[in-house]
Amino acid sequence: MWKKVYQTFNHLPDVEKDKFIRALERDKTSIKSDIAKFISNIRETRFSEGLGCVHCGSTAVVRHGKYRGRQRYKCKDCFKTFNDMTNTPIGGTHKPHLWLQYIELMVEGYTLPKIVKRLNIHISTAFYWRHKVLNAVRSIGDSVLQGVIESDETYLLESMKGSKHISHRKSRKRGGVAPERGISKSQVSILVAMDRNGNIISRKNGYGRTTASEIESVLGDFIDSSSILCTDTATNYKKFAKLKKLPHETINARKGIYVRKHIYHIQHVNSYHNQLKRWLDRFQGVSTRWLDNYLYWFRFLQLNKKLPFEEQINSLLLGCCRGSNYATIEELRAA
């Protein structure tokens, strides 16, 4: 590949050769300064409350020389060393410049084969990086919904994509149809709930028709007690509302009622379902095992879609670094 380019290069007049070399140098320095900016952003976000040890939380941290051009720190309490990226998805990689491009492609929602082609990395690396980022984003967790809360489920066909053994049923061709009519145990339920301030919860919540206790396990801790729940007329939600002692507005679409009192409806949630399914189509079946990661990915894109592209990248980057740091602190608190 490069030899072809080199041959063409050799045929250029000297002036053009000079221009070409200068352009290459410019690209190289701009990649370097992008990476420097990227690392300093991560540092400021992770240590926004002051420099602390990423292993034990101690603030007795000193600078400890440089390794591979990166600042290292040492903790005087646990004696461990770390750098700005330790314990983030980017920590330990020798290819930070690829990471930057990788995050960009994630904001654009690229599929793995496309990423492999663009970045010339192995598909298993691309897969591993994706879930490293998504696990970190997921570990930030959900925020509490308040006020008018719309909630409803949508269903996807269960997918064992990527699993070698399918024991409980015959394997099905990609995009196949469910064996039974209506909602069956071969369908995965996705619960989406959102308030009118733009907070969204979107999680996998079991197989077949959703039960009140499944709703409770996904939403239970994330609903402010002064909220008003807005759903269809399904009994699972009636039970759930009663359990949480929430005022409950039900929408009976079968009777042609879509909005009540000009304000209570579930149209935001239903439109979210449609967009989510359309977005998931590109992956040609997402393994049920990884579904939550994809749901958090889509949620991230939705929450940030009004930001300029550069800021979306930054937000994903910092989100995934902040997330892993947060998880470490949580683990410490639990210990």
Contact residues for Zn ion (CB under 5 A)? 53, 55-56, 58, 75, 77-78
Under a CB-based contact definition with an 8 Å cutoff, are residues 126 and 112 in contact? yes
Least gap, CB of 141 to Zn ion (angstroms): 24
Least gap, CB of 75 to Zn ion (angstroms): 3
Identity of the residue, 73 or 99, whose beta carbon is nearer to Zn ion in the bound complex: 73
Identity of the residue, 16 or 77, whose beta carbon is nearer to Zn ion in the bound complex: 77
Least gap, CB of 150 to Zn ion (angstroms): 44
Rounded Cα distance between 41 and 139, Å, is 20
Least gap, CB of 80 to Zn ion (angstroms): 5
Identity of the residue, 78 or 243, whose beta carbon is nearer to Zn ion in the bound complex: 78
Least gap, CB of 332 to Zn ion (angstroms): 10
Q: What is the 3-state secondary structure (H, E, C) of the chain?
A: CHHHHHHHHHCCCHHHHHHHHHHHHHHHHHHHHHHHHHHHHHHHHHCCCCCCCCCCCCCCEEEEEEECCEEEEEECCCCCEEECCCCCCCCCCCCHHHHHHHHHHHHCCCCHHHHHHHHCCCHHHHHHHHHHHHHHHHHCCCCCECCEEEEEEEEEECCCCCCCCCCCCCCCCCCCCCCCCCCCCCEEEEEEEEECCCCEEEEEEEECCCCHHHHHHHHHHHECCCCEEEEECCHHHHHHHHHCCCCEEEECHHHCCCCECCCECCHHHHHHHHHHHHHHHHHCCCCHHHHHHHHHHHHHHHHHCCCCHHHHHHHHHHHHHHHHHHHHHHHHHHC
Least gap, CB of 321 to Zn ion (angstroms): 18
Identity of the residue, 58 or 252, whose beta carbon is nearer to Zn ion in the bound complex: 58
* C-alpha closest to that of 133 among 161, 93, 163: 93
Identity of the residue, 47 or 207, whose beta carbon is nearer to Zn ion in the bound complex: 47
Least gap, CB of 55 to Zn ion (angstroms): 5
Identity of the residue, 64 or 95, whose beta carbon is nearer to Zn ion in the bound complex: 64
**Token digits of residue 181:** 């009519």
Identity of the residue, 78 or 259, whose beta carbon is nearer to Zn ion in the bound complex: 78
Least gap, CB of 113 to Zn ion (angstroms): 42
Which residues are registered as beta bridge partners of 151? 193
Identity of the residue, 54 or 194, whose beta carbon is nearer to Zn ion in the bound complex: 54
